[in-house]
C-alpha cells in the first residue's frame, strides 16, 4: 500500500523551505519577478549604447534568469512530490509562464549583440574592466554569430516553435495517452495490462513465456501504428534539418553539437570504436545464452538478470555504503556528501502522487536536491550514488563559479554521475569474495555497459542515418525505418533479424529520437566515467585533484577543455578503448565464474 505523503517520516523528505520559507513567500516573489521582467522590456534597442549598457543589461538578464530558475525549481519540486495537489500544478504552470515572458522580454539580446564587433568590444572592455568576467560568455556568442539570423527572422522562427514541436508532442500524446497495449500474464500468473511502466520488469522475468508474450504484445502494437509513428519521426527529422539549414549549418548534427561546442569527430569516433568492439557484445550475449540454458537467444532474453543472488540493501545502509565508497574523492567531497545525506536534500520514499523515477535538481541558489523512489535493491544503491554524483557536480560548480558559469553542459553531466557508479562497482568487487555475489555485481556492470554504451550508440547510429537519409531526399516510410533498424540490430546484437521479427518496430517507441542528437552523450559519458573511475581508484592524488577541478569548472570553458582538466581527451578514442578494456576484463571474469558454476 503506497503511503500518503503526510505519513512519511520527515527525515526522509526533502526540505524545500530552504528555497522559499512559505508558499506565500513564493507568491510574493512570483509577483515581484513578473513586474521586474515587464520593466526589463524597455532595455530592448539599448544593449550596445555604451560599455555601461552592455554590462548593465547583461547583468540584469542574468539576475532575472537566476530568480526565474529558483522560482521554477520550487514549483516543480513541490509538484513532483505529489502531482495530485492542484495548487502546485498551478504554481508550475505559473512559473513556466513567467519563464516564457522572461525569454520573450530578452529576445532582443542575441540579435543586438551580433552587431558588436571585436574592436568595439575591446574598447568597451577597456572602459569597463568588469566586463572581463563575461569574456567566455561573449566568446560563445561571437562564435555563433554566423548562425544567428536577423531579429525579424529569429522572431519568425520563434513564433513557429509550437508548430516545430508538433511532431514530438503528437508522438508523446500517441505514445503516453492514446496507445493501448494488450493484457498479458505476469510471473504470478496474474493478468495485467501491459504498460510502458511494467514492460521492463516483465522482460526481466525468469519465465521465458512471460518475456516472450510481453515482447510480442508490445511490438505487435507498435506494428499496428507503424505508419503514424513513421510520419511523426519523419516530420521531426525534417524540422531539425530545416532549422539547421536556415541557420547555415551543414547538417542537423552539426547544429546540435555546435550548441555544446562539441566537434562532430567525437560522434564519428564513438560509432567507429563501438563498431570495432561489437565482437565483445556478441561474446557477452553468447555467455548469456549459455547461462540461461537456451539453444537460441532471442531479443526478449536480453534483459533478464543472469544472477539468482538477491543483493538487497536498505536505504540507511545504502547511505553508509555510499559515504564510505565516495570517500575516495577526499575530505571536500565527503563533507558535501554528508550534508546531502543528513540535511534533507533527498526525497526518499514512494508516496501517492509522487513523480516516478529519480533525478538531481535545483538552481544556483538552492541545495542540489535529489528525488528517489527507494526500493531495497542493488539498482537503487547505484541510483543513489548516480544522483549524488550529479548533485556534487552542481554543488562544486555553484560554489566555485559565478552564476553565468554556474551550470554545465549535458555532454559533461552524465560523466560525474556514472563515475560514481563505476567507483561503486570497483568498491563492491574489491570487498566481495563470494563467487555468487561477484557474479551478480559483474552481471550488473556488464548489463549497464550493454545498455548505455552499445545500445545508445546503436540509437545514435540510427538517428544519424535517418537525418542523412532525409537530407539526401529519402522518404522515411515505416518500411525504410523498419529495415534500417532491423539491420542495425542484427549488426549490434549478432541475432538474425529473421528470427527477431518484432524488434524492427522498436524505433517507434524511443522518445530520444525526438531529442535531436542527444543519445550519443550517454555512451560517451559512460565510457569517460569508466576511464576516470579506474584512474581515481588506482591512480594518484593528482588524478583526484584533476577530477575535482572538472567538477568545479561548470561552463567556464568549452566542454572538451573542461573534461580535459580531469585527464580525458575526448577528441580521441583512447578513453573508449580504455572503457572496452575494463568491459573485456570483467567479461572474462564472469566467464571464469560461469565455468566454476557460480551462476547455479
Residue 412 burial by CB count (10 A; 0-12/13-18/19+): exposed, middle or buried? buried
Report the alpha-carbon distance of residue 183 to residue 193 in Å, rounded. 4
For residue 277, give the H/E element and its range: none
Give the contacts of 405 (CB within 8 A, at least 6 positions apart): 136, 137, 397, 554, 555, 556
Largest CA distance in the chain: 77
Report the alpha-carbon distance of residue 596 to residue 335 in Å, rounded. 42
**Hunting for cell 577526499 — which residue is that?**
330
The question of whether 387 is a catalytic residue gets the answer yes
Report the alpha-carbon distance of residue 591 to residue 356 in Å, rounded. 36
Which residue in 69, 387, 426, 461 is the catalytic one?
387
Report the alpha-carbon distance of residue 337 to residue 551 in Å, rounded. 14
DSSP 564: H
Question: Given phi > 0 = left and psi -120 to 50 = alpha, else beta, which region is 370?
Answer: beta
Give the contacts of 169 (CB within 8 A, at least 6 positions apart): none
Report the alpha-carbon distance of residue 41 to residue 57 in Å, rounded. 11
Residue 164 to residues 50, 142, 240, 241, Cα–Cα distance (Å): 37, 26, 9, 11
Report the alpha-carbon distance of residue 405 to residue 396 in Å, rounded. 12
Report the alpha-carbon distance of residue 347 to residue 361 in Å, rounded. 11
Three-state secondary structure string covering 330-372: CHHHHHHHHHHHHCCCEECCCCCCCCCCCEEECCCCCCCEEEC
Report the alpha-carbon distance of residue 388 to residue 386 in Å, rounded. 5
- Evaluate whether 414 touches 521 at the Cβ level (below 8 Å): yes
Report the alpha-carbon distance of residue 489 to residue 498 in Å, rounded. 11
Residues annotated as catalytic are 387
Amino acid at each position: 500500500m503506497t503511503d500518503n505523503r503526510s505519513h512519511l517520516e520527515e527525515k526522509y523528505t526533502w526540505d524545500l523551505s530552504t528555497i522559499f520559507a512559505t508558499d506565500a513567500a513564493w507568491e510574493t516573489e512570483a509577483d515581484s519577478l513578473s513586474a521586474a521582467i515587464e520593466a526589463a522590456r524597455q532595455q530592448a534597442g539599448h544593449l550596445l549604447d555604451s560599455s555601461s549598457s552592455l554590462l548593465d543589461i547583461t547583468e540584469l538578464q542574468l539576475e532575472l534568469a537566476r530568480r526565474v530558475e529558483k522560482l521554477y525549481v520550487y514549483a516543480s519540486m513541490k509538484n513532483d512530490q505529489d502531482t495530485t495537489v492542484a495548487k502546485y500544478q498551478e504554481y508550475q504552470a505559473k512559473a513556466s509562464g513567467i519563464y516564457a515572458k522572461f525569454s520573450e522580454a530578452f529576445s532582443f539580446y542575441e540579435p543586438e549583440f551580433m552587431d558588436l564587433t571585436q574592436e568595439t568590444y575591446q574598447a568597451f572592455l577597456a572602459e569597463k574592466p568588469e566586463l572581463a568576467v563575461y569574456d567566455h560568455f561573449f566568446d560563445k556568442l561571437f562564435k555563433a554569430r554566423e548562425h544567428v539570423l536577423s531579429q525579424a527572422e529569429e522572431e519568425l522562427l520563434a513564433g513557429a516553435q509550437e508548430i516545430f514541436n508538433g511532431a514530438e508532442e503528437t508522438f508523446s500524446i500517441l505514445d503516453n495517452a492514446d496507445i493501448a497495449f494488450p493484457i498479458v500474464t505476469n510471473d504470478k500468473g496474474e493478468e495485467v495490462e501491459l504498460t510502458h511502466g511494467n514492460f521492463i520488469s516483465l522482460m526481466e522475468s525468469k519465465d521465458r513465456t512471460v518475456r516472450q508474450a510481453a515482447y510480442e504484445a508490445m511490438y505487435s502494437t507498435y506494428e499496428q501504428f507503424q505508419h503514424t509513428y513513421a510520419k511523426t519521426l519523419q516530420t521531426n527529422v525534417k524540422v531539425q534539418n530545416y532549422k539547421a539549414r536556415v541557420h547555415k549549418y551543414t547538417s542537423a548534427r552539426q547544429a546540435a553539437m555546435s550548441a555544446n561546442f562539441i566537434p562532430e569527430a567525437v560522434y564519428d569516433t564513438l560509432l567507429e570504436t563501438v563498431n570495432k568492439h561489437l565482437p565483445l557484445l556478441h561474446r557477452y550475449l553468447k555467455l548469456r545464452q549459455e547461462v540461461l540454458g537456451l539453444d537460441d537467444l532471442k531479443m526478449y532474453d536480453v534483459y533478464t538478470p543472469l544472477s539468482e543472488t538477491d543483493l538487497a540493501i536498505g536505504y540507511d545502509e545504502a547511505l553508509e555504503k555510499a559515504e564510505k565508497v565516495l570517500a575516495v574523492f577526499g575530505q571536500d567531497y565527503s563533507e558535501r556528501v554528508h550534508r546531502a545525506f543528513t540535511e534533507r536534500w533527498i526525497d526518499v520514499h514512494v508516496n501517492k502522487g509522487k513523480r516516478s523515477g529519480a533525478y538531481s535538481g535545483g538552481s544556483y541558489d538552492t541545495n542540489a536536491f535529489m528525488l528517489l523512489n527507494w526500493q531495497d535493491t542493488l539498482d537503487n544503491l547505484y541510483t543513489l550514488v548516480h544522483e549524488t554524483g550529479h548533485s556534487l557536480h552542481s554543488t562544486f560548480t555553484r560554489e566555485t563559479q559565478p552564476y553565468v558559469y554556474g551550470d554545465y553542459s549535458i555532454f559533461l553531466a552524465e560523466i560525474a554521475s556514472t563515475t560514481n557508479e563505476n567507483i561503486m562497482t570497483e568498491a563492491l568487487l574489491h570487498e566481495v569474495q563470494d563467487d555468487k555475489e561477484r557474479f551478480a555485481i559483474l552481471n550488473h556492470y556488464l548489463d549497464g555497459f550493454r545498455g548505455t554504451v552499445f545500445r545508445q550508440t546503436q540509437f545514435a547510429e540510427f538517428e544519424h542515418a535517418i537525418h542523412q537519409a532525409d537530407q539526401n531526399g529519402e522518404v522515411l516510410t515505416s518500411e525504410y525505418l523498419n529495415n534500417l533498424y532491423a539491420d542495425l540490430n542484427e549488426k549490434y546484437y549478432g541475432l538474425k533479424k529473421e528470427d527477431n521479427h518484432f524488434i524492427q518496430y522498436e524505433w517507434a517507441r524511443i522518445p530520444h529520437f525526438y531529442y535531436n542528437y542527444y543519445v550519443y552523450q550517454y555512451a560517451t559519458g559512460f565510457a569517460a566515467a569508466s576511464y576516470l573511475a579506474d584512474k581515481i581508484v588506482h591512480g594518484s592524488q593528482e588524478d583526484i585533484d584533476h577530477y575535482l577541478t572538472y567538477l568545479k569548472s561548470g561552463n567556464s570553458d568549452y566542454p572538451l577543455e573542461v573534461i580535459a582538466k580531469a585527464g580525458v581527451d575526448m577528441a580521441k578514442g583512447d578513453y573508449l578503448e580504455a572503457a572496452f578494456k575494463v568491459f573485456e576484463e570483467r567479461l572474462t571474469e564472469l566467464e571464469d565464474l560461469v565455468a566454476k558454476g557460480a551462476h547455479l
